[in-house]
């Protein structure tokens, strides 16, 4: 202040202090007064933003991931419970808007490099083998079909289906199916417990035997961890709303969501799956819904804000590989057909895939220390298979962004991407010890899912 006063007097032409050098611009070394900032406890917007900044700094400065998760989910308020398996109409559109996900039909093209050594080694000695049905070439692996197809034109059939041991796996699948549904003498299922009676055990048996037999080819599966009926939870904020009733009426609050999911099976691996497309890619549009989430219908409750992938933070298998979901009896195909809601059958599969995979990948990202103020620097990829015992739908999810809150989403161009197929039947009927109409395409999709691994392995 003294220097400023002296400078002003000097500028007006009068010299008062002979010791001050004219034109002395350097300020004092340390500020004389503390910085002027907004209060912390006042009832004002500036104070609110200062409190939010202090909270963000606390979370950034947390030493361990457990401490970060504890602070992130410390404040409990009523939140919307998002159920991946829901009967709500057009739920997948709403879920895509909550999680900022783009839905791309069909599966992503698998990296040709991972498959062509396999196909090059095995396709040539098996030129005389009966050709596998190449029906899935167009949908599943155009990359695989192009690369070997260009190199080996005399073998168009085997170039699209590079898997030699498929017959063995097919027999394993049929064995599991017949054992559960035909050979084993089970009593009649209890009311509304059909899914736990046959398709549940069949799925468990199928996945464990396939994973065991494919772990030879995929060393990642050998180091993986298979969870039975695990729990996956995630808590996040998206958008803003005004509180309607109660003592906090009139305040602007973030809209809170929580997913509590119990997949039937889950495979967790120690190394992360490779990214499918680069982090900033834009493959479509996210639906924008102006209405409140309670119109879906979605209901609010207040309870623990949990973020969990299926194992605690210290577990070495902290990345996700594949989830397997079994649809409950309430969402059977026959029920929808009886209610004349045929278009909602696919919606059920899609909403289950999107919600479960978003929760899993986002929880994995939080386990690595990312959150909505510290956005992910690499994409997190996971896969899921949603089934009701007979029909299978395959989903692959890439998480590009965790920043979904009102402030962080403003300048965020990234979107999460979900690739998904329609539901395909694995078989037609099981009669007299035979499985009729087995669909190799579905088995091939499943095998490719299980064989997915990072490029180094």
- Give the residues lining the site for another protein (CB under 8 A): 89, 289-292, 295, 297, 340-341, 344
Q: Which is nearer to another protein, 344 or 405 (CB)?
A: 344
Q: How far is the CB of 80 from another protein (least distance, A)?
A: 16
Q: Which is nearer to another protein, 87 or 427 (CB)?
A: 87
**Partners of 325 in the beta sheet?**
386
**Partners of 236 in the beta sheet?**
257
Q: Which is nearer to another protein, 96 or 110 (CB)?
A: 96
Q: How far is the CB of 106 from another protein (least distance, A)?
A: 24
Buried b (16+ CB within 10 A) or exposed e, 304-333: ebbbbbbbebeeebbbbbbbbbbbebebbe
CA neighbor of 208 nearest in space, from 264, 253, 262, 127: 264
Using CA atoms, how far apart are residues 404 and 410, in angstroms rounded to an integer? 9
Q: Which is nearer to another protein, 295 or 312 (CB)?
A: 295
Q: Which is nearer to another protein, 188 or 340 (CB)?
A: 340
Q: How far is the CB of 281 from another protein (least distance, A)?
A: 31
Residue pair 268/309 in contact (Cβ under 8 Å)? The answer is yes
Tokens standing for residue 189: 């299922």
Can you say whether residue 336 is alpha, beta or left, with left for phi > 0 and alpha for psi between -120 and 50 degrees? alpha
Q: How far is the CB of 102 from another protein (least distance, A)?
A: 21
Q: Which is nearer to another protein, 292 or 330 (CB)?
A: 292
Q: Which is nearer to another protein, 251 or 292 (CB)?
A: 292
Close Cβ partners of 66 (under 8 Å, ≥ 6 residues apart)? 313
Q: How far is the CB of 241 from another protein (least distance, A)?
A: 12
Compute the half-sphere exposure of residue 90: CA atoms within 13 Å on the CB side of its CA.
8
Q: Which is nearer to another protein, 207 or 347 (CB)?
A: 347
Cis peptide before 30 (omega within 30 of 0): no
DSSP SS3 for 269: strand
**Partners of 419 in the beta sheet?**
104, 396
What DSSP letter does each residue of 152-209 carry, written as one string? -TT-HHHHH---TTHHHHHHHHHHHHHIIIIIS--PPPPTT-HHHHTHHHHHHHHHHH
Q: How far is the CB of 259 from another protein (least distance, A)?
A: 22
Using CA atoms, how far apart are residues 233 and 170, in angstroms rounded to an integer? 34
Cis peptide before 297 (omega within 30 of 0): yes
Q: How far is the CB of 318 from another protein (least distance, A)?
A: 39
Q: How far is the CB of 255 from another protein (least distance, A)?
A: 15
Q: Which is nearer to another protein, 139 or 289 (CB)?
A: 289
Residues in the chain: 457
Q: How far is the CB of 253 from another protein (least distance, A)?
A: 17
């Amino acid at each position: 202040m003294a220097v400023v006063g002296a400078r002003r007097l000097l500028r007006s032409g009068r010299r008062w202090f002979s010791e001050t050098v004219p034109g002395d611009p350097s300020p004092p070394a340390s500020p004389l007064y503390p910085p002027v900032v907004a209060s912390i406890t006042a009832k004002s917007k500036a104070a609110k933003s200062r409190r939010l900044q202090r909270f963000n700094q606390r979370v950034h400065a947390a030493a361990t991931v457990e401490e970060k998760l504890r602070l992130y989910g410390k404040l409990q308020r009523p939140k919307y419970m998002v159920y991946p398996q829901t009967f709500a109409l057009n739920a997948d559109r709403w879920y895509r808007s909550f999680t900022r996900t783009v839905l791309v039909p069909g599966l992503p093209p698998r990296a040709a490099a991972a498959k062509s050594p396999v196909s090059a080694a095995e396709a040539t000695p098996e030129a005389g083998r009966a050709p596998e049905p190449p029906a899935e070439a167009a949908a599943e692996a155009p990359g695989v079909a192009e690369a070997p197809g260009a190199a080996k034109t005399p073998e168009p059939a085997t170039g699209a289906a590079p898997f030699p041991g498929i017959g063995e796996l097919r027999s394993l699948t049929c064995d599991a199916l017949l054992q559960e549904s035909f050979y084993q003498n089970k009593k009649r299922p209890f009311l509304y417990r059909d899914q736990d009676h046959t398709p549940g055990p069949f799925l468990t048996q199928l996945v464990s035997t396939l994973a065991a037999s494919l772990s030879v080819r995929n060393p990642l599966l050998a180091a993986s961890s298979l969870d039975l009926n695990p729990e996956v939870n995630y808590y996040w904020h998206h958008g803003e709303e005004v509180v309607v009733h109660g003592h906090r009426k009139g305040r602007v609050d973030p809209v809170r969501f929580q997913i509590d999911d119990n997949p039937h099976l889950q495979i967790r691996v120690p190394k992360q799956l490779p990214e499918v497309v680069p982090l900033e890619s834009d493959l479509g549009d996210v639906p924008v819904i102006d209405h409140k989430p309670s119109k879906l219908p979605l209901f609010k409750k207040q309870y623990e804000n949990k973020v969990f992938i299926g194992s605690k933070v210290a577990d070495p298998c902290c990345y996700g590989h594949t989830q397997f979901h079994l649809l409950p009896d309430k969402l059977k195909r026959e029920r929808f057909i009886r209610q004349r809601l045929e278009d909602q059958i696919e919606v059920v599969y899609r909403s289950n895939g999107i919600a479960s995979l978003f929760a899993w990948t986002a929880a994995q990202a939080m386990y690595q220390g990312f959150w909505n103020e510290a956005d992910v620097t690499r994409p997190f990829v996971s896969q899921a298979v949603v089934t009701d015992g007979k029909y299978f739908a395959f989903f692959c999810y890439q998480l590009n962004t965790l920043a979904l809150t009102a402030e962080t989403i403003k300048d965020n161009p990234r979107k999460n991407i979900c690739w998904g197929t329609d539901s395909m039947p694995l078989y037609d009927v099981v009669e007299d010890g035979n499985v009729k109409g087995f669909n190799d395409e579905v088995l091939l999709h499943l095998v490719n899912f299980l064989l997915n691994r990072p490029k180094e392995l």
